[in-house]
Amino acid sequence: MSVRKVLITAGPTREPIDPVRYISNFSTGKMGIALADEYARRGAEVILVKGPTQMKPDNRTVKIIDVTTASEMYEVCSQYFDESDVIIFAAAVADYTPKYPANTKIKKKEDDFMLELIKTKDIAYELGKRKKANQVNVGFALETDNEMENALSKLEKKNLDLIVLNSLQDPGAGFQHDTNKVTIVDKSRNVVKFDLKSKAEVAEDIINYIQKLS
């Protein structure tokens, strides 16, 4: 497969509750950034849609588009999706966002506080509907239980060509680590397990697997 342009999402999103608070997660963006660096090293044109994290790619050829919310990430990805050969959804996008974010700081009053949430748009699912035969879509699944079952469900539902599964049960895997331990599952249900490696090495493994799909 001749890869010219790659679209990658990385990092968390922040969903505002009020001007000083938000819903987010512990993602650092390291895995998505490692993928961006490796693809750029191999000569691809890389667009990195990055949630709020201080980390950046080392390769200066990577085009970085900073976003904050899930909605913003979707809008940018939608803009670049059709022209991309490989799309890697590595960001940890919030599943829910406050329905009515406050314009001013919410003051502490009652003992209980109810926050109404609504689902965010599932970026991989929505863009998977637009996927062309010559595109490769890659997703990530970070699970705590029923790992393979959940990964296979996402693979099918989101029209992915492969999914990268990691488990929070594995020491050194997941958020806030420089290492990761992954299992790759493709749409033919082939399963390949990898040992614990640096995220730079994991990025190489993932990209090598993508190249085999051609």
Q: How confident is the model at residue 176 (pLDDT cuts 50, 70, 90)?
A: low
Q: Residue 166: what pLDDT?
A: 86
Q: Catalytic residues, which ones? A: 25
Q: Do the beta carbons of residue 4 and residue 85 sit within 8 Å?
A: yes
Nearest to 44 by CA among 88, 81, 91, 7: 7
Q: What is the mean pLDDT of residues 143-166?
A: 92
Write the pLDDT tens digit of every residue in 11-62.
Answer: 999 999 999 999 999 999 999 999 999 999 999 999 999 999 999 999 999 9
Q: DSSP secondary structure string, 176-211?
A: T-SEE--EEEETT--EEE---EEHHHHHHHHHHHHH
Evaluate the CA torsion angle 80, 39, 184, 133 in order and state its sign: positive
Please state the pTM of the whole predicted model.
0.94
Rounded to whole angstroms, the Cα distance separating 43 from 123 reads 26
* Radius of gyration for the chain, computed over Cα atoms and rounded to the nearest angstrom: 17
**CA-based end-to-end distance of the chain:** 5
Helices (H) and strands (E) in the chain, counts: 5, 14
Non-local CB neighbours of 76 within 8 Å, separated by 6+ positions: 49, 65, 67
Residue 162: how many other CB atoms lie within 10 Å? 23
Residue-range domain boundaries for the chain: 5-104+114-212
Chain CA centroid to CA 132, Å: 20
Report whether 77 contacts 91 (CB < 8 A). no
Q: What does the pLDDT read at residue 145?
A: 81
Contact (Cβ atoms closer than 8 angstroms) between residue 129 and residue 82: no
Largest CA distance in the chain: 59
Closest alpha carbon to 191 in 162, 160, 156: 162
* pLDDT above 60 for 1: no
CATH number of 5-104+114-212: 3.40.50.10300
pLDDT at position 214 is 63
- pLDDT tens string 96-153: 999 999 999 999 887 888 999 999 999 999 999 999 999 999 999 988 788 899 999 9
